[in-house]
Amino acid sequence: MKRKREDRENNQLEEGEEACARSMDIVWQTPANAPHRDDYIFHKGRRHVKPYYFEFICHVKNRWTGKTIVDVFTEEFKGRPYDYYVKAVKSGRIQVDGKNVSVYHRVKTSEKISHFVHRHEPPVMAWDVSVLQKEEDVLTVCKPASVPVHPCGQYRKNTVVGILEAEYGLAPLFPIHRLDRLVSGLLILARSSTKADAFRQQIEAGAVQKQYIAKVVGVFPEGEQVVDVNVNYDAREGRSTVEVGDGCTRIKVKGKTARTKFTRISTNGDYSIVLCEPVTGRSHQIRVHLQYAGHPIANDMLYLGEKVDPRSAVGTSADRAAARLWDSPSSKTSENNGDSEEEPFTDFINDPVCTHCPNLAPNGYGEPEEGLWLHCVRYTAPDWTYECPYPDWFKLD
């Protein structure tokens, strides 16, 4: 009898949450809604975005066909638990072709799925995106580590493009090259699609020289060192590996050709500052080529060790998954339990269906993130050069 009463009370609670969610006066945002300065909250050294309501749209993929709507979300979008997706379907937060469906609905190819979420963006470090040079058709900035360049994954407003629009009114902007989220330094943005195309043509023609600096483990050899090995990027796991053919077999190497030149600038016996000049532009190329050379970036958790928790299993970024292995046992336990150290912040609507409320950050983003010791310093072409100041870690003690 006690178990039945508890089940009945739980059902009544769920029905109350769903009714509350349906009755809320919600303004749904789309990518057309520009970020504003008051969208951000600065808290304990990090830049947060006030949670907001957002409509995600996707179309049913072939491999999803025949699965229930709840199973599709549970298997493909691991950031939230099964119970959340059940509530989201029941409350109309997940719809198919614009209509409410049962939790037992089996999806069909080409159906449009809308997921109306209370979106909590991951925080980034509260460093400014400083403008270096502002021209009529070009903008250069010093990108801080931890901030993505443009909207991707869970990030939309907490991006370089979003922050520049919110704080300086600069839009539209067209990044002509990319820097990984944890990489800092020079970022060039065109202010028109025509100028962006002109830049990209120069890059694709090999007319642009790119220079980065990195702080690596150990004494890097003197003289120019060239790493010329293929890079294979696993998009699902967010990690690259190198592939070297032995010249004796006919097994085809899957990775893309990649070439990086390295020159030691300084060393103190424990670490070295290295100039990195990528000739090609593969994902994580500098990071994995330095690992291959035996001198990985000194704080690059993803490439310092061989064993890394797969991000697909832990539902977070590859770098965060790697950092888990280097954390203390207590912090691992906290994240594995889905807890966040983010303090509750009440200056936004607390949504009854949301799995992240009342915290600002999504689950698993309670700890600050350290930027990589990898910094873009210079891009040069025959008719232009853009530079960025060196970071504090450039000078070895």
pLDDT digits over 43-65, tens only?
889 999 999 999 999 999 999 99
Q: Same domain, yes or no, for 262 and 384?
A: yes
In a domain, 191, yes or no: yes
Write the pLDDT tens digit of every residue in 200-240: 999 999 999 999 999 999 999 999 999 999 999 988 888 89
- pLDDT of res. 335: 38
In a domain, 360, yes or no: no
In a domain, 335, yes or no: no
Q: Same domain, yes or no, for 316 and 286?
A: yes
Mean pLDDT, all residues of the chain: 86
Q: Same domain, yes or no, for 154 and 178?
A: yes
CA torsion sign, 126 to 322 to 118 to 154?
A: positive
In a domain, 343, yes or no: no
**How much is the pTM?**
0.84
Report residue 5 as tokens.
Answer: 């009463």
pLDDT value at 341 more than 80 = no
Write the pLDDT tens digit of every residue in 116-148: 999 999 999 999 999 999 999 999 999 999 999
pLDDT value at 333 more than 50 = no
Choose the final residue of a domain: 192, 207, 222: 207
Catalytic site positions: 180
Q: Same domain, yes or no, for 41 and 106?
A: yes
Choose the final residue of a domain: 109, 124, 139: 124
pLDDT value at 9 more than 60 = no
In a domain, 166, yes or no: yes
Write the pLDDT tens digit of every residue in 164-204: 999 999 999 999 998 999 999 999 999 999 999 999 999 99
SS3 at position 76: helix
Distance of CA 339 to the CA centre of its chain: 20
- pLDDT of res. 347: 72
Q: Same domain, yes or no, for 305 and 238?
A: yes
CA distances from 215 to 148, 272, 297, 300, 316 (A): 21, 6, 6, 10, 26
Q: Same domain, yes or no, for 171 and 309?
A: no
Q: Same domain, yes or no, for 73 and 142?
A: no
Closest CA to 203 of 110, 256, 281: 281
- The domain total for the chain is 3
Q: What is the span of the domain harbouring residue 194?
A: 125-207
Choose the final residue of a domain: 79, 104, 124: 124
In a domain, 21, yes or no: yes
Q: Same domain, yes or no, for 246 and 374?
A: yes
pLDDT grade, residue 246 (50/70/90)?
A: low
